Every structure is written in structure tokens, then in C-alpha cells.
Structure 1
Amino acid sequence: MATELTWLGHATFRLDTEAGTRVYVDPFLNGNPKCPENERSPERCDLVVLTHGHGDHLGDTVDIAKRFDCPVVAPVELRDWLTAAHDLPEANDQSPNKGGTVSFAGVRLTLTDANHSSSNWQDGKIVYTGEPTGVVVRQDGGPSVYFAGDTNVFGDMALIRRLYAPDVAVLPIGDHFTMGPEEAALAAELLGAPRVVPCHYGTFGLLTGTPDALRPLLPAGVELIDPAPGETLTL
């Protein structure tokens, strides 16, 4: 079985690994205007991965976790908040911090830095949910995928290249809340991944960056893979 990556609109992805593990990254399904209707109720899930606590990334995490009794890997403060505020089981093995690696169902997840913010609402107040992260997803015999999360470009993306050499880089390009196409092109250069998948664009009016704006800015030899919402890529 090949590794398959399905974009579900905004920054939400489903990753099906070589071994058949199904991973949802930042599962903002219901309320996501770009998520296809037939994708809003997952048929199965083996693992949820969160990059930070904003509602457009946390999304349906709690419902999915309780429905499928699956692990939720998230930065430590966010994972602890999910236990305290949403009654997910306490699980220290699911709450790494930046630089930490955890493994579930044949998938290794390493949290990386990201330059953004992370918060959510609780009892009518904004609560801190830790620092934002990116995540590198690795599997034996399959491609490695770097999900940058919400971020701008930063020089230490070169360290992600050196340490993890991702085969695919999933980068936000919408601008305003994250980097836009110009910064994303530099991120691609620093990361050295041969393939780039854009995300976090077109969902709302403020997110004006587009794949067409990114494409001519990418380094020579970097392939831009631009799926439609609901489209599955074979990596």
C-alpha cells in the first residue's frame, strides 16, 4: 500500500500510511467551508495529531478521539488542556514537546518549532494552550512528511532539513495569519523537500495567498502539488 495524503480544506489532512494507519492532522471538518460534505464524519481514525490549539485546527478532535478511542498527540499544554477541559484520557505518552518524538501504530511523530500562537476558549475566556508546533511524520519504508502548522518562515527550517530531510513539506500560504507565498517559497528552499503541498489558503476572505502565486517563486526542481479539497495524493 502506498502512502496517501488527502487535503480536507484549510490546514486539515488525512494521511494513510504504507501500513494502513489512518492519521488526521488538525481535523477541522465541521465548520470548515472547504471540507467536502462526505468527509465531515470520518469512517475510521487511528491517530489524531495537533499542531496548536486554535479552533480551526483543534476542530473535531474531541469527537473523533472519543468516537474511535484513538490517541491524540499534541504539544504538552494543549494535550493536558484536552484532558482537563474535554475529558480526554490523561496520557503523558501523547504529550511531547518540541524536539520530542513519540510513536504510535508504526508512525513516528516529532514536534518542531513554529512561529505563531496557540489558544482556545474555555468558559468564555481565552486560555493558553502552549506554544505552536510543526510535526514531522515518519514511517518505515515510506515518505516523511513535514506539516509546518501555522507559521512564518524562520531560519531554523534549515535544521529541519538537516535532521529529518522531509520528502514532502506541507506549508501554509494564505498570508495574514501565516506566511504568504513569498515566505513559503523561502521556506521550501530552507527545507529542501522536493515536493510542496500548500494549505491554509482560500478558506476565508483574509487568506489571499494562492498556489499560482507560489509556483513561480519556488526553487528550481521543487514540485508544487496542488490538490483540490477532498483530493487524495499518492506520495
Structure 2
Amino acid sequence: MNAIPCLILTACLLAAPAFAADAGSPAPGGLRVTWLGHAAFEVVSPGGTRLLIDPWLKENPKTPAAWKELSRFAQEKPAAILVTHPHGDHAPDVPELARVSGALVVSTGEHLRAMKIPEAQHHSVNVGGSFKLGDITVHAVPAMHSSEPGGRPLGYVVTFADGRSLYHTGDTGLFGDMALIHELYRPDIVLLTTGGARWGMDPKTAALAMRKYFKPSIIIPMHFGTFEPLAGEAEVRAAFANDKRVRFLTIGQATVL
């Protein structure tokens, strides 16, 4: 091979993004994150511990059809389902997912009882609590929102064996104790609510939260563009226009970080 093709091939390899198309196997040495639309994510740790977070799937207009078939989770079993709060755009599929997968369901005890999750699958948490699962540790942190029926709203910080941490904000407004979440956990990756409207941080406020309280290496916007009157993608992009940490994920496509 002559010098010019070699240089071109080397440049292409260095520039290639780290995407994994196979959503059914662990990401060796990497953390795999798949956005399923709105606030729903699948997260697979470098050691293969699989989590679902706020898996509203069946009636989610943005969730790809293949992910709406909850029977898939009988094979692709999550170790746990993390639920931030009981609103209809976050939790309605959780009881069926629990039955199909046998996974632990993580939320406040009040919310678990309201969802009628089998007691053997209850894994209750509250603000300040944490637990180990496989090669990860899950920490429950506050969110400023409402919660009905049962419990209180939460966010989650998941820490990994490689020292990194991922923060799912849940539905939250801006609040000063975000500074303590950063001080305690220093999240490297933030799954950030940005849609605003009547329910949480709008894009400009979400961008302010990242500038004022956090220093992540990756910001992944979520909870936007699903239905009106949430902010659309163009508005979110405008609010974060000069922030090179922001990554807009393709719904249903696994990304290795």
C-alpha cells in the first residue's frame, strides 16, 4: 500500500465515532448507552450489567417499534429497572417489564407499592441511599418535581468500575443542591432533561445548570421533542450551540462511550 492511501485510512480510523450496532451484547471495555426516546434509556456497564431507566416504551411516540415489544426483555434481561417518578411518560410499562424480565425495580417504597410490583422484586431507595449491583453502584439523588401516586421524585447517579459516573436527572427544575450532586459524584456523563414547557427545565435553563453546577465530559439531552409543548431539537441545539460536550443520540442506536 502506498503512502497516500495509508494516511487516508489512518485519518478515517482516528475520526471514526465509537458506535456499537449490536444492542444484544456487552460493550467490552466500554459503557453502552441507548436512548429509547423521551427519558427512557438502556445502559449496559463495561462489565455487562444491564439497566433500564424510565422505560416508557409502548405508547412512547419516539420509541422504535422493535423496542415496543416488551417480550424482548425476557431474553435481554435487565438486572434492574430504575424509575425516577410515577408519571405517565416515565413509568406505565414498568409493571409489565418487571413481570416479563424478573428484574429488580428501583424506586421509593411508596411508588413500588403503588405499581403493585411483586415484593420479591422490590428494591426501594430514597434520597442519599445507594446500593451495589454487579460492577456498578447506584446512588439515589433528589429531583425537584412532583410524584403521584406514591413516593417522591428522584434522579440517579450510576458509578462504574472504571471510575466514571452517569447521572440521569429525571424530571427536575434547576435547584441549588445540584452543586452537592456534583461535589459527591462528579458525573462524567449527564442524561439531561431539556424539554421544559410546563414540566421542567427548558433548554436555556438546562444549559445554565451544566455551566453553573457540573463539569461533565458528555451531556446527552433528553425529554425534548416527544410531544407538544416540549421544546424541539432545534431549540435544544441552539441553547447548547457552543458546548462541544453535547451529543445528540439517535433513538434506538447503541452508543459506546
Q: Which of residues 220, 226, 230 is equivalent to 2:248?
A: 226
Mapped pair 1:166 → 2:187: yes
Q: Identify the match of residue 66 of structure 1 among 99, 102, 106.
A: 99
Deviation at 1:39, TM superposition (A): 1.4
Which region of structure 1 is more displaced relative to structure 2, 68-77 or 165-174?
A: 68-77
Secondary structure class of the residue paired with 1:20: coil
Render the CA deviation track for 1:67-95: whole Å, top value 9, x for unaligned.
1211011123212323xxx2422566x11
Larger Rg over CA atoms: 2
* 1:18-29 matches, cutoff 5 A: 18-29=46-57
Deviation at 1:20, TM superposition (A): 0.8
SS of the residue 1:224 aligns to: coil
Aligned partner of 1:198 among 188, 208, 221: 221
- Do the aligned partners of residues 224 and 65 (structure 1) sit closer, same or farther apart at CA in structure 2, a change above 3 Å counting? same
Listed as ranges, the gaps of 5+ residues in structure 1 are 120-127
- Does the 8 Å CA contact 2:86/2:92 hold for their aligned counterparts? no
Q: TM-score, normalised by structure 1?
A: 0.88
Alpha-carbon separation, structure 2, partners of 1:116 and 1:180: 14
Q: Unaligned 5+ residue runs, structure 2? A: 1-27
**1:44-83 equivalence runs, <5 A:** 44=76, 45-82=78-115
CA drift of 1:209 comes to 4.5
Structural RMSD (CA): 1.6
Q: Aligned partners of 1:87, 1:134: CA distance in 2, in Å?
A: 20
Equivalent residues of 1:80, 1:95 under 8 A apart: no
* Matched ranges for 1:40-189 at <5 A: 40-41=68-69, 42-43=72-73, 44=76, 45-82=78-115, 86-90=116-120, 94-119=123-148, 128-141=149-162, 143-176=164-197, 177-189=199-211
CA distance in 2, matches of 1:67, 1:142: 32
Letter of the aligned partner of 1:226 in structure 2?
A: F
C-alpha separation in 2, matches of 1:39 and 1:208: 24
1:143 and 1:198 map into 2 onto residues whose CA distance is 19
TM-score (norm 2): 0.81
Are residue 15 (structure 1) and residue 43 (structure 2) matched?
yes
What is the DSSP-based 3-state SS (H/G/I as helix, E as strand, rest coil) of the residue aligned with 2:240? Answer: helix
Residue aligning to 2:65: 37
Q: Secondary structure at the match of 1:216?
A: coil
| Secondary structure, aligned partner of 1:56 | coil
**Superposed CA offset, 1:149-195 (max 9, x none):** 00111111111111001010111111111111111011112121121
Q: Distance in 1 between matches of 2:62 and 2:163?
A: 28
Count of paired positions: 220
